[in-house]
Amino acid sequence: MTQTFEKQPETGGRYEPLGAGELLDHDDNSLRLRAGSTTVEVTALAPDLFRVGMFPAGGPPRYDSEAIDREDWDPIEVSMKESDEELTLSTTAATAQISLNPVRIGFSDAAGREFAVDDRELGMGAVETTDADIFSEPLGSPVRLYKRREAGERYFGCGERTSGLEKTGSHQVFYNVDPPLGHTASFNNLYSSIPFSLSLANGKAHGLFFDNTHRVEFDLALASEDRAYYGAEGGAIVYYVFCGPTPADVVDRYTELTGRTPMPPLWSLGNQQCRYSYMNEEEVREVASGFRERDIPCDVIYLDIHYMDGYRVFTWNEDRFPDPQGLISDLGEQGFRVVTIVDPGVKVDENYSVYTDGREKDLYCKTREGEEYHNAVWPGVCAFPDFTNPETREWWGQNQKVFTDAGVSGIWCDMNEPALFIPDGATMPDDVIHPGGRAGEARWHAQIHNTYGSLMARAAREGLLALHPDERPFVITRAGYAGLQRHAMQWTGDNSSWWEHLWMSMPQLQNLALSGVAWAGVDIGGFGGDTNGELLARWYEFGVFQPYCRNHTTLGTRHQEPWVFGEPYESVCREMIKLRQRLLPYLYTLFEKCHRSGAPILRPLLFEYPEDETTYTADDEFLLGEALLVAPITRPGVEHRHVYLPEGTWFHYYSGERFDGPAHILAHAPLGEPALYVKANTAIPMGPEASYTGERPTDPLTLLVHPAEGTEESTLYEDAGNGFGYREGEYARRRISCESSEARITIHLGEREGSFVPEREEVRLQLRGVVEAKSVLVDGGEREPGLGESGALTVSLGEEAGSTTVEVLL
């Protein structure tokens, strides 16, 4: 059975790189070569996006892996040049150069920057094995792609890695597993696999996505510091090159190709609470009241596996939850949503209609002998849906009706690597068959392993959409492949209540964000083991800035709801969660930007400051959007830490102190006042306090600005927070600019774009650090300012929906 641990790519049979090739044919944007027994196709999909495929000669190219969302690209201007030695395919932005003897492919942009150039000696090819020809089943032969490392090239991305931001000099395995509890930063493959690397060289970025759903390995200048290796155990070589030149350009195109994060329902950005498990209805009610009585905002409570009847998916345990509908409706009245866990294993049980129905419809995975494949998970012996089959996905999705009928708002897909119990810690053997439902579609598990989680999440999302077409689905997944972001948000599985895991969360979420999975979060407080008050409070100081904010812990551990450790921890947790609640307009604006461009919500500093190499290793701090920089404390008993502030002016959120970057500073961050910095002149939109999302309108809306000489522009995006009206223009987007000098601060709120009218009576401008002004003019008319919270000058703008200019003369 294929297992989790590293194998060296250089072992095995004899590797044969491609030899000489010749042009077979070409069309408007692509060309095909014959090289030995393979066909190589190079296609320009967009001015800054190329695709390369290497297939057996005569075999049809296939580019339809589960990762790919966009296949129909707009026609672009492409020119081709041909000589005896070389072919080129050029767009307006970049060129693919293909040398013919031997066949080697490289890329360059209009400025002459070269990137993703095949290693001259090793290029791309396959490993010759004695017992199988290069594309034979089940696995075919290993395939490899060697790229030259450019001068100064450094590697990032690679999905859910906990070990830091930079991947230069590392070996990366892409194979979904459920690691044993207590994984450390040395485990490089965890639950999801995204074989995508983002490189920076001299401040310029490019990306490479190696789209192969077998077990994949990268060697990023470890075996040789002059090259990188991208390889798979089998299948074809299909890879995409993103030309950049900024990380934002790369991630934008990458998420255009693999799919964008959908607009979330607004409630799913609120605070969430989970435990394995809240055992029965009484306990759930008690937890819900706990939040309301203690004035701690919360939107969602999760039901983990004990709500089921003997862990049978799509059932309710009638002793523990006799009236799910009544419970969920009561919770709804208090402003809570309920999300239920769903595992892929279906208990083999003749008296369980979900199982027998799936068997009658022939929707399960098979052994080589054609029997149902069985293994054990929570309910005992289970069959496993073949999610590669569209019919299975539809059936699975429809089964969710048992939840939506009871009022459940979201689906939590777990154990979908898939994780199996025999032997302990296993996943499916390579030779399990996914029949696929149609002739010719059957695949070995080894061929699609990394996609099983994505396909399950896809079934959940499509099912929710079919059941409630007017609601934005909320799906959470543990496993997945590149592109999973279009089906679900990802939580990062079973971390531990360790300070080390709090630290690891930061690179982990930043690496995911650079790899297209912007909507992600780790379990606050830690899942395995007992947490304590200080760790929990510090974890919230980090956790409320995650795109997804959920506290979760395992069976038998100490409770870790935000109040259980008493003071001072309870107050810290409360204040942090309240801050998140108030920041929702800012967060939601970031989600909408991400939905359109893939721009991460929680992002590494290097995303914004790629020219500044100090940011490349700044993995224990991060940006939330462009305007907030968060540097959490991740050690016990510590109140100070080093923070790197990149170029620009930054203000400490709590003290208001000003810092001019780039600068290394020692931040004082006593419990309850995390090192949080706001970029000068950016407007942070903040709502009022609320105990859950939607409790009241965003009224007043405060625009918090920290002026300092210079100019910045920011945006505020709002819509109904659910449904799809935004697609028809029912949204409100406003640009907000702030220009500050010694004598004057000018804030301009642009005209509202879109037809959505937020329900509110007051927009309030708060200028931090401005204690007096000679006069304040709103659209030329004098306005009396107030001295509001924290010594800020406050200007009340009333409804001010149209274009408005505020001038503050100092």
**Chain residues in the site for ligand GLC (CB under 6 A):** 276, 304-305, 341, 414, 478, 493-494, 552
- In the complex, least distance from residue 558 CB atom to ligand GLC, rounded to whole angstroms: 15
- In the complex, least distance from residue 417 CB atom to ligand GLC, rounded to whole angstroms: 10
Given the complex with ligand GLC, which of 536 and 680 has the nearer CB atom?
536
SS3 (DSSP) at 196 = strand
Residue among 158, 6, 160, 180 nearest 478 (CA)? 160
Give CA–CA dist 728/116, Å, rounded: 40
- In the complex, least distance from residue 448 CB atom to ligand GLC, rounded to whole angstroms: 22
DSSP 76-98: ---EEEE-SSEEEEE-SSEEEEE
- In the complex, least distance from residue 356 CB atom to ligand GLC, rounded to whole angstroms: 24
Pairing of strands 337-342, 94-100: unpaired
- In the complex, least distance from residue 414 CB atom to ligand GLC, rounded to whole angstroms: 5
- In the complex, least distance from residue 494 CB atom to ligand GLC, rounded to whole angstroms: 5
Given the complex with ligand GLC, which of 256 and 304 has the nearer CB atom?
304
- In the complex, least distance from residue 31 CB atom to ligand GLC, rounded to whole angstroms: 46
Given the complex with ligand GLC, which of 528 and 610 has the nearer CB atom?
528
- In the complex, least distance from residue 555 CB atom to ligand GLC, rounded to whole angstroms: 7
Give CA–CA dist 376/426, Å, rounded: 10
Four-CA torsion 397, 403, 408, 414, nearest 10 degrees: -60
Given the complex with ligand GLC, which of 210 and 452 has the nearer CB atom?
452
- In the complex, least distance from residue 193 CB atom to ligand GLC, rounded to whole angstroms: 17
Six-digit token string for 324: 């799910």
Residue among 762, 721, 691 nearest 588 (CA)? 721
CA distances from 135 to 131, 433, 791 (A): 12, 18, 70
SS3 (DSSP) at 584 = helix
- In the complex, least distance from residue 192 CB atom to ligand GLC, rounded to whole angstroms: 13
Pairing of strands 520-521, 489-491: parallel
Given the complex with ligand GLC, which of 462 and 494 has the nearer CB atom?
494
Residue 46 β-bridge partners: 49
Give CA–CA dist 541/623, Å, rounded: 14
Six-digit token string for 741: 């000098």
Q: Which residue is nearest to ligand GLC (CB)?
A: 276
- In the complex, least distance from residue 407 CB atom to ligand GLC, rounded to whole angstroms: 21
- In the complex, least distance from residue 195 CB atom to ligand GLC, rounded to whole angstroms: 23
CA distances from 542 to 236, 499, 561 (A): 41, 12, 16
Active site residues: 414, 417, 494
| Other residues' Cβ atoms within 10 Å of the Cβ of residue 105 | 26
Given the complex with ligand GLC, which of 80 and 420 has the nearer CB atom?
420
Give CA–CA dist 3/730, Å, rounded: 49
Give CA–CA dist 176/488, Å, rounded: 16
Q: At what angle do helices 533-543 and 569-597 cross, to 10 degrees?
A: 30
DSSP 20-37: --EEEEE-SSEEEEEETT
Given the complex with ligand GLC, which of 305 and 793 has the nearer CB atom?
305
DSSP 459-479: HHHHHHHHH-TTS---EEES-
Residue 17 β-bridge partners: 125
Pairing of strands 192-193, 480-481: parallel
Alpha helices in 567-633 (DSSP H): 569-597, 605-608
Give CA–CA dist 483/495, Å, rounded: 23
Give the contacts of 614 (CB within 8 A, at least 6 positions apart). Answer: 644, 646, 662
- In the complex, least distance from residue 89 CB atom to ligand GLC, rounded to whole angstroms: 45
Given the complex with ligand GLC, which of 52 and 479 has the nearer CB atom?
479
Give CA–CA dist 106/31, Å, rounded: 14
CB 446 within 8 Å of CB 431: yes
Residue among 160, 267, 204, 229 nearest 12 (CA)? 229
User: Residue 402 is inside which H or E element, if any?
Assistant: helix 401-404
Given the complex with ligand GLC, which of 305 and 708 has the nearer CB atom?
305
Given the complex with ligand GLC, which of 478 and 578 has the nearer CB atom?
478
Given the complex with ligand GLC, which of 553 and 615 has the nearer CB atom?
553
Given the complex with ligand GLC, which of 66 and 414 has the nearer CB atom?
414
CB 719 within 8 Å of CB 725: yes
Six-digit token string for 44: 């320009």
Given the complex with ligand GLC, which of 51 and 552 has the nearer CB atom?
552
CB 388 within 8 Å of CB 426: no
| Other residues' Cβ atoms within 10 Å of the Cβ of residue 295 | 11
Pairing of strands 433-434, 443-444: antiparallel
Sign of CA dihedral 782, 786, 790, 791: positive
Give CA–CA dist 202/348, Å, rounded: 57
SS3 (DSSP) at 303 = strand
Residue among 219, 194, 198 nearest 207 (CA)? 198
